[in-house]
């Protein structure tokens, strides 16, 4: 898991192409968001059987996040061969979301500890996720992809889902 995602983050050209090839209109996601005071939690889940590989899943879920965060309409999703789109992904958007030289936000990949499983389960209950999603958390594998002082970004998989979990304190 670590190596596959690290490989994507190190090769922006390949990552951009994976992102561009993910057709959001053909994929289904469950998106949960929870605000409490200044704390924000967002979880994007996708069924594993929609993807041929973990890299493909990570790229598609990142694309979904990008469209949500930037408030873009998925109906206007660029063509995967659009060179301007590929260049923007490679040179702007990947760097924006996965900065290499930001002293407050670090892109690194590490396995998460077992404490995350119980806290993730509590969060899924809090956002009213389906019981089948919550029960799948027991076989969770996850990696922390980014961590800042007030931010955490975790990608993982259960027996049936890939997910992206984000936690942040919004100022």
Q: What is the pLDDT of residues 22-79, one digit of tens each?
A: 999 999 999 998 888 888 889 999 999 999 999 999 999 999 999 999 999 988 899 9
Q: For residue 93, what pLDDT is reported?
A: 94
The pTM (predicted TM-score) of the whole model is: 0.89
Residue 135 pLDDT exceeds 80: no
Residue 155 pLDDT exceeds 60: yes
CA dihedral 6, 97, 120, 168 (to 10 degrees): 140
Q: State the residue for tokens 């996708």.
A: 46
Backbone region of residue 37 per phi and psi (left: phi > 0; alpha: psi in -120 to 50; beta: other values): left
Residue 130's pLDDT band (boundaries 50, 70, 90)? confident
Give the mean pLDDT of the chain: 86
Angle, helices 2-10/54-69, rounded to nearest 10 degrees: 60
Sign of torsion over alpha carbons 69, 71, 75, 77? negative
């Amino acid at each position: 898991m670590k190596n596959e995602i690290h490989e994507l983050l190190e090769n922006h050209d390949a990552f951009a192409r994976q992102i561009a090839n993910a057709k959001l209109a053909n994929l289904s996601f469950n998106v949960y968001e929870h605000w409490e005071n200044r704390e924000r939690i967002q979880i994007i889940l996708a069924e594993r059987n929609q993807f041929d590989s973990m890299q493909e899943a990570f790229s598609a879920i990142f694309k979904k996040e990008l469209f949500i965060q930037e408030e873009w309409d998925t109906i206007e999703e660029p063509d995967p061969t659009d060179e301007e789109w590929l260049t923007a992904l490679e040179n702007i958007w990947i760097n924006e979301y996965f900065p290499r030289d930001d002293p407050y936000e670090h892109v690194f990949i590490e396995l998460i500890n077992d404490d995350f499983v119980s806290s993730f389960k509590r969060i899924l209950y809090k956002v009213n996720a389906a019981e089948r999603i919550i029960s799948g958390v027991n076989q969770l594998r996850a990696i922390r992809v980014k961590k800042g002082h007030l931010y955490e970004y975790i990608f993982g998989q259960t027996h049936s889902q890939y997910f992206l979990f984000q936690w942040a304190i919004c100022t």
